[in-house]
Structure formats: structure tokens, C-alpha cells
Amino acid sequence: MINVFLLLGSNLGDRNVFLHKAIACIEQGIAPVVDKSAVYETQSWGKTNQPDYLNQVIMLQTNLPAQQVLAKILHIETVLGRSREEKWGSRTIDIDILFYGDEVINQPNLIVPHPQLHNRRFTLEPLGVLAPGLIHPVLNKTILELKSDLKDDLIVKKL
């Protein structure tokens, strides 16, 4: 079984409901959630004039190939009303693959570890609680080390 870490985010509608629905869909279509962080409210990153997000990191264990996990995630996003109109635009749900075991994947539609993970406080705060000693297979640093190197000063607060 491969440990897969996913980041969930929502900044439209009932954000909490979208996180819960995403987890239910993930458990039904991909694998049971083994662990999850608390929910964090975070300022919008990249396009900062958007509503605040609720973010949460979850961990699954699966034997599904990474591309199959991605396909299922994209389907869940569509089912939950995600529309891709603008980069970093508001969304009902966003699901990113942060880590797929210790694999390094660089394909046109999938880069793992997530290429912006080490730059984002809203990712590293919850991930640092779930897996503080997890080593980034490209940067060769633990999540806590990445968090201590972070330049991102956006507000991320645990709910």
C-alpha cells in the first residue's frame, strides 16, 4: 500500500460541507482516509482577492496507480461543482496530490510531489501536523524543515 497525501480546499459555498463531501467521495471511490488534519482557514494564495479557503490534508493508503488517483480526483471535483475558468480562481473544491509515497512523478498532467508544496503555508501547516518527519523526495528535507524555511506569510489559522 502506498501512502498518499491529498490537500483539500474550498472557498465557495458551504466550504465545510464541500470538504466533508470530498472526503466521502474519496473514501467511496479511491480508499479509506487513514488520517486527517484539522481544518484550517487560510487567506487566498496566488490570487489574493479571492474569499478565504478552508484547507485540510488527508492521508490514504492505496494500490491504485497515481494517474488513476488523479482521474478519480478530477471526477470528484467535477461532481462537486468545480469549474476551471481561471488560474487560482475560486472553487467549490480543489483536491491536490501532495505526495504519492516517495515517488517523483513528472508527467504533463501530474507532477508529484506537488511543485508548490514547499512554498505554501496553507499546505505545510496541516501536513506538518500529520507527517512532520516525512521527507520530501526531491528537496530532501522534512516537512518541518520546509515549514521553517517558509517565506509565505499568509494567515493560516486552525479552526
pLDDT in tens, 89-106: 578 899 999 999 999 999
The torsion region of residue 101 among left (phi > 0), alpha (psi -120 to 50) and beta comes to left
How many other CB atoms are found less than 10 A from the CB of residue 130?
A: 18
Mind giving me the DSSP string for 9-24? EE-SSSHHHHHHHHHH
- The mean pLDDT value for 41-62 works out to 87
pLDDT in tens, 1-14: 999 999 999 999 99
Looking at the annotation, which residues are catalytic?
A: 82, 91, 94, 96
Length, in residues, of the chain: 159
- The mean pLDDT value for 119-146 works out to 96
Of 154, 115, 147, the C-alpha closest to 131 is 147
How far is Cα 36 from Cα 151, in angstroms, rounded to an integer?
25
The reported pLDDT for the residue numbered 21 is 97
**H or E element at residue 83:** none
Residue 88 has pLDDT above 60, yes or no: no
pLDDT mean across residues, the chain:
92
The reported pLDDT for the residue numbered 47 is 64
Residue 121, C-alpha cell as written in the block: 503555508
Tell me the pTM.
Answer: 0.94
- The mean pLDDT value for 51-57 works out to 94
Return all residues near 127 (Cβ < 8 A) that are at least 6 apart.
5, 7, 37, 57, 98, 117, 134, 143
Match domain 2-158 to its CATH number in 2.30.30.40, 3.40.50.300, 2.60.40.420, 3.30.70.560.
3.30.70.560
- Domain borders along the chain are 2-158
Out of 40-54, 106-120, 135-149, least confident range: 40-54
The reported pLDDT for the residue numbered 143 is 97
Residue 140, C-alpha cell as written in the block: 530532501
How many other CB atoms are found less than 10 A from the CB of residue 148?
A: 11
Return all residues near 41 (Cβ < 8 A) that are at least 6 apart.
52, 53, 54, 55, 156, 157, 159
Where are the extended beta strands (E) located within 11-52? 33-36, 40-42
Residue 154 has pLDDT above 90, yes or no: no
